[in-house]
Structure 1
Amino acid sequence: MLNTQQMALMMALPSESQGLFEQQQIDVHYSGIGKVNAAFKAYQVIMQTGCHTLLNLGTAGSHFFDAHELVEVTRFVQRDMDVSALGFEIGVTPMDEHYPCHIDLQPNFSQLRKGTCGTGDNFATAAAPLACNLVDMEGYAIAKVCKKLGVNLISVKYISDGANQQAHLEWEDNLLLGAKKLLSFYQDIKS
């Protein structure tokens, strides 16, 4: 059973919650878009709340998973870290031996399929240059902060789009349905 007593909830944007969480008096910490904003907010939330678990809910694109599916992320990679010109594999941050190119998370929900999420500071409209089956813009940074601070991270993503040329339209069209599914999931794990 998941202990949700010392858990803080973090999402990237208010548009991902559509105000539904706030209507239910659920405290959501919003990071803003991208890895820098996500890392800063994750650190701030952990320091201010003293949480033992940070729950990251949000949207993601995928060529692999079905649209509208909830996926538990069990591995994060950086799809936009590219120092290959100096001989490093894509995804590897040079001289960062303590944190490899991937960060693994403990699975928590048997009812959800598991995925590897490629994080990058661009809205993905094509396949990522390394092995991942869903994409976002914040997750790896959140995972790295949690790992460094010894905080458990749980990440569940709603597949909002196909990470293709229509992704920006699909993402916007699916925000309300995604918020409803994420809220229902959150209420289930809190009950």
Structure 2
Amino acid sequence: MRLIGTVTPDRPLLVLALPEEAAYLDAALPVLLTGMGKVNAAAALATVLAGGPKPSAVVNLGTAGALRPGLAGTHEIGRVLQHDLDTPLLEQLTGRPMDGPIDLGPAGPVLATGDRFVSSDTERDELARAADLVDMEGYAIATVASRAGLPVRLVKHVSDEAGDGAELSWQASVDGCARLLADWAAAHLR
């Protein structure tokens, strides 16, 4: 975890997993680098929110894999869900509702979050039944921000077509994605 800048109530906090994704952000807004995965993202954001002033909002910027052919560009997420938690089975076993999907806005693609980097066509095709994009931190960030009573936005740039060879595509595209995410932040946040 690394916090760059100072969190203040009049500015949003930008939350990203990796320094590669934050490489071109200007220093006007505070940036939290969480590390990869749901546990790192949740722990880092919860620590920052508990330790001082809260930001005006939480904005998660990052890369995502496309689960559908032809999906490209930068997208603000409308709904996020966990793909690696068997919510229906756990609800059946306990008789209680579990953490289901989180609706973030009226429009936008569905993001599936899980701790596995999706690099097989079989897993991609299975996830595509419920979502459009896949990442490793979005659901955790949305959960922590929501529980803290803060507005949250998830903005993802498609870095690869999740599936066979995705790890090579991500490595080749992350720098370009970081530039486009910084452009989005400059145009939409202040």
TM-score tier by shorter-chain length is 0.7 to 0.9
Alignment match, 2:41 = 38
Deviation of 1:46 after TM superposition, in Å, equals: 2.4
Alignment match, 2:111 = 117
Identity, in percent, stands at: 33
Alignment match, 1:14 = 19
Q: Which range moved further: 69-78 or 58-67?
A: 58-67
> Residues 74 and 155 of structure 2 are in contact (CA less than 8 Å); yes or no, is this contact kept in structure 1?
yes
What's the secondary structure of 1:114's corresponding residue? coil
For the aligned residue pairs, the C-alpha RMSD in angstroms reads: 2.5
Alignment match, 1:79 = 83
Amino acid at match of 2:172: D
Q: List alignment gaps of at least 5 residues for structure 1.
A: 108-112
- For each residue in 1:135-164, what CA deviation from the matched residue of structure 2 results, as whole angstroms up to 9, or x when unmatched? 000111111111211111101000001001
Q: Which range moved further: 64-73 or 163-172?
A: 64-73
Alignment match, 2:31 = 28
Structure 1: which 4+ aligned runs deviate by more than 3 Å? 65-68, 92-97
Amino acid at match of 1:58: G
- Across the two proteins, how many residue pairs are aligned to each other? 175
Cα distance change on mapping 1:67 and 1:15 into 2, 3 Å:
farther
- d(CA) in 2 for partners of 1:60, 1:93: 32
Alignment match, 1:110 = none
- d(CA) in 1 for partners of 2:69, 2:149: 30
> Residues 143 and 153 of structure 1 are in contact (CA less than 8 Å); yes or no, is this contact kept in structure 2?
yes
Deviation of 1:43 after TM superposition, in Å, equals: 1.1
